[in-house]
Structure 1
Amino acid sequence: MKVALQGRAQGRQRELYEEAGIEIVEGGCRTEDDMIELIGDADGAQVGIWPLTSRKVLEGCPNLKAVSRFGVGVDSIDHDAATELGVMVCNVPGSNTTEVADHAAALLLSVTRQVVEGVTNTRAGNWADNPRAMGFAPRMRRLTGHTVGIVGFGNIGRAFATRMRGFGVSRIIAFDPYVRQLAGDLYGVTMVDFETLTREADYISIHSAATAESQYLFDAATFKRMKPTAILINTARGPIVNEEALADALEAGEIEAAAVDVTEIEPLASSSRLLKLPNCYVTPHVAAMSSVFVAETAVMQAENIIFVLQGKKPHGLTNPDVVKTIAVMRHTDPGRWANVPDL
């Protein structure tokens, strides 16, 4: 058995593969053709965000049985193609819940408490030498007594709600078409429709997946509906927010500020309008990161592939219908699944 790693083995991954008797190959990829060359005849692959694990890549790797992402998001993998071809798409559910919820809260506090401006002015010597230049204090705000809106009420959205309750906010509302009010009741959250949330929330944090439904959920019309004092936080996925519409809204004062950890295209170009706006903070897609996350997720990412090749269930399977495809293959032409134990 062989597994291809896009990048280098992390943490205990090399040790785990060796213990399982699995050969590993490592390499960087800039294009889909690079990925096909790297994965080749491998049985499993650890893949990243870019290049996309597209239909072309999956069809070009005839022996591939499982692909595993580092973390939760799997939107870079063509699920329809993977399911059709009998390839399991794996992730590590819950691995970064704490970190992303913390980061979203940190971004919100950084904006409301003007942390960046305070540090910048102090380092520039303005506190001691030119205090009148420190004009950020009037923009500082409190969380207590305000309405927090959460878009996407899965594990991370719920963790964020738990953190917000500790700040004494007046209420927490959430939008998620797949979550009932019963789940909201457990967290003291009122489930509402999207228009209500964007109209009534003072602070909005996005925690939904990137899907066809959520693409550009925040567009020009949405920003016009929001409060002029609203602050938007996005630690989910870039395409949920139309960046040009966001920049327009920030420049026009349709909303007060935004802080994002994800962008439509990453890395964000240095010429981006968002980087030139004083009321917009951008961090480089690091919300999930911590030493604990890296260590634990590295193990679980490797275990996903090892488990699949050993006939065991992975930690996370995001295309469950593939099980039916594999069952049909085993009873007709097993193809890539020949000589692999059944789950």
Structure 2
Amino acid sequence: MAERPKIVATNPVFPETKALLEEQATVVVNPALEPWPYEKVRQRCRDADGLLAFMTDRIDAGFLAACPRLRVIGAALKGFDNIDAEAATNAGVWLTIVPDLLTVPTAELAIGLMLSLGRNIVAGDRSIKQHGFHGWRAEFYGAGLAGATVGIVGFGLVGRAIAERLAGFQCRLLAYDQSVSPALMKSQPHVTMTGFEDLVAKSDYIVLALPLTADTRHIVNSKTIAAMKPGARLVNPARGSLVDEGAVADAIARGQLSGYAADAFECEDWAIVDRPTRIDPRLTASSAPTVFTPHIGSGVTEVRREIELSAARSILDVLAGRIPFGAVNDPRKQFAHAQSRSR
């Protein structure tokens, strides 16, 4: 009898996900909310055929070299900056992502962050819980979306979903994305495409909807912030390292920014060696005009279940010899290239 393949899941998974994988493989799942550290994941995967990976994991060439049996990494995420796709290809390992299921919940959260930041919802909630409610007072005045100019940096699936949801708020929408085609913009008549500098200078709210790459890291920095409208608000539902959090803290302290809302933070971008180890404490102070959520952009129960199942199906596809859904590489081409060079 052939040995069953082994699949490792580095974080807790839904029962349906585990059951699906166990139909074809022996499954090892981290049962705790605390993610396994890099070395423990690598140790667990030394004899694994498949890996169900999450945002908390870091997969690099050293990891892959220590896991010679690994054939597929099914990432339960869309952005894969924490996984070295080129190293996976060179190692003959498929890498798959879930390209579409995270779009709507992330866009919804972005709107929630904007409203919470502008209308002082979190500060008002905290005031009542700490001091009680004694009737209306002339405080917690903020900024609405009606009549505001909102700049969306990045106009892929998430950026467009944010724009669609903002269309009913009676705000002016600007967008910046160098890769968007004129044909696409014909379907977005309520959005004006513009340059990055123009968007930064005109927007009351700036929303980031970009992947994290070498080019986009710290796209919001001290220079960017200095060019913003005084009192602008910044919203980041994408990746933490798009923003220089120290520069944001400085700008809030001097009044250049009215506030910052984020669902992702520099300290969790594991692939960046010199990342901060914590959020700047000036941003987490109780008096700070900030709204933070713990990376829950896709945190809708049914959506998370479907994300896991999609990643699990991709893993099983590879183990069955099929081309997987959501593949971002094709290690067969690397193998064919190596074969041709050896002839």
Superposed displacement of residue 10, structure 1:
2.1
Choose which of 4, 7, 10 in structure 2 pairs with 1:6: 10
Query: How far does the alpha carbon of each residue in 1:107-140 deviate from its partner, in whole angstroms, 9 at most, with x for none?
Result: 10111222112222333455316x55x6212xx2
2:124 match: 118
CA distance 1:12–1:247, change in 2 (3 Å): same
CA distance in 1, matches of 2:188, 2:246: 34
CA distance in 1, matches of 2:11, 2:317: 21
Matching of residue 262 in structure 1 with residue 264 in structure 2: yes
Other structure's SS at 1:285 match = coil
CA distance in 1, matches of 2:282, 2:145: 28
Query: How far does the alpha carbon of each residue in 1:192-229 deviate from its partner, in whole angstroms, 9 at most, with x for none?
Result: 22111111111111010000010010000000000112
CA distance in 2, matches of 1:51, 1:248: 31
1:26 match: 29
The residue identity in structure 2 corresponding to 1:175 is Y
CA distance 1:63–1:92, change in 2 (3 Å): same
1:186 match: 187
Matching of residue 58 in structure 1 with residue 96 in structure 2: no
1:312 match: 322
User: Quick check: 2:17–2:305 contact (8 Å CA) kept in 1?
Assistant: no
Superposed displacement of residue 2, structure 1:
1.7
CA RMSD of aligned residues (A): 2.2
CA distance in 2, matches of 1:190, 1:271: 34
CA distance 1:38–1:331, change in 2 (3 Å): farther
User: Quick check: 1:93–1:315 contact (8 Å CA) kept in 2?
Assistant: no
Task: Give structure 1 stretches of 5+ with no counterpart.
Answer: 334-343
1:41 match: 47
User: Quick check: 1:204–1:232 contact (8 Å CA) kept in 2?
Assistant: yes
The answer to which of 113-122 and 38-47 deviates more is 113-122
Superposed displacement of residue 329, structure 1:
6.0
Superposed displacement of residue 31, structure 1:
3.6
Other structure's SS at 1:256 match = strand
CA distance 1:290–1:316, change in 2 (3 Å): same
TM-score (norm 1): 0.88
Matching of residue 298 in structure 1 with residue 308 in structure 2: yes
Q: How many residues align?
A: 326
TM-score (norm 2): 0.88
CA distance in 2, matches of 1:243, 1:166: 31
Task: Give structure 2 stretches of 5+ with no counterpart.
Answer: 270-276
User: Quick check: 1:72–1:92 contact (8 Å CA) kept in 2?
Assistant: yes
Q: Percent identity?
A: 32
The residue identity in structure 2 corresponding to 1:7 is N
The residue identity in structure 1 corresponding to 2:74 is S
1:273 match: 282
CA distance in 2, matches of 1:96, 1:64: 26
The residue identity in structure 2 corresponding to 1:76 is N
Choose which of 69, 72, 96 in structure 1 pairs with 2:78: 72
Other structure's SS at 1:307 match = helix
Other structure's SS at 1:121 match = helix
